[in-house]
Amino acid sequence: DAEITQSPRHKITETGRQVTLACHQTWNHNNMFWYRQDLGHGLRLIHYSYGVQDTNKGEVSDGYSVSRSNTEDLPLTLESAASSQTSVYFCASSRLAGGHAAYNEQFFGPGTRLTVL
């Protein structure tokens, strides 16, 4: 069965370190997204990609970067981790690149809980 996985599931790091969170999907979806989830804020979009070599900034992109070298993977890098980046991170993918958004279901991974000390 197709799926979307994230690793690691839990990560503790120190302020200033570079951290990379992995996201891998076997849906063969063009679209991939990274969100962070914090109490009272729901899901906020960090970065997204509509295909290989395409990346775009979301509403909370400062301090984060992504790269898309193939269809399956969209790793999220925290260049220099800060305590404000302690959060739960979710990766998602969806099939359509444009088209009718009404049918653009997003499939989510299980999340990565990141703690920055």
Partner 1 sequence: TQLLEQSPQFLSIQEGENLTVYCNSSSVFSSLQWYRQEPGEGPVLLVTVVTGGEVKKLKRLTFQFGDARKDSSLHITAAQPGDTGLYLCAGPLGTASKLTFGTGTRLQVTL
How much is the CA Rg of the chain, to the nearest whole Å?
Answer: 14
DSSP state of 72: S
Residues between 23 and 62 with contacts to partner 1, criterion CB under 8 A: 31, 33, 35, 40-45, 48, 50, 58
Question: Does residue 1 bind partner 1 (CB under 8 A)?
Answer: no
Helix/strand/coil for 83: helix
Helix/strand/coil for 14: coil
Which residue in 76, 111, 114, 116 binds partner 1 (CB under 8 A)?
111
For the bound state, the minimum distance from the C-beta of residue 36 to partner 1, rounded and expressed in Å, comes to 11
Distance of alpha carbon 69 from alpha carbon 77, whole angstroms: 14
Which residue in 17, 84, 105, 117 binds partner 1 (CB under 8 A)?
105
Which residue, 46 or 81, has its beta carbon nearer to partner 1? Answer: 46
For the bound state, the minimum distance from the C-beta of residue 76 to partner 1, rounded and expressed in Å, comes to 15
Which residue in 78, 109, 114, 116 binds partner 1 (CB under 8 A)?
109
Residue 10's DSSP bridge partners are 113
Q: Which of 58, 69, 57, 54 is nearest to 22 (CA)?
A: 69
| Dihedral sign (CA 33, 34, 39, 41) | negative
Binding site for partner 1 (CB under 8 A): 31, 33, 35, 40-45, 48, 50, 58, 90, 92, 94, 96-99, 101-106, 108-111
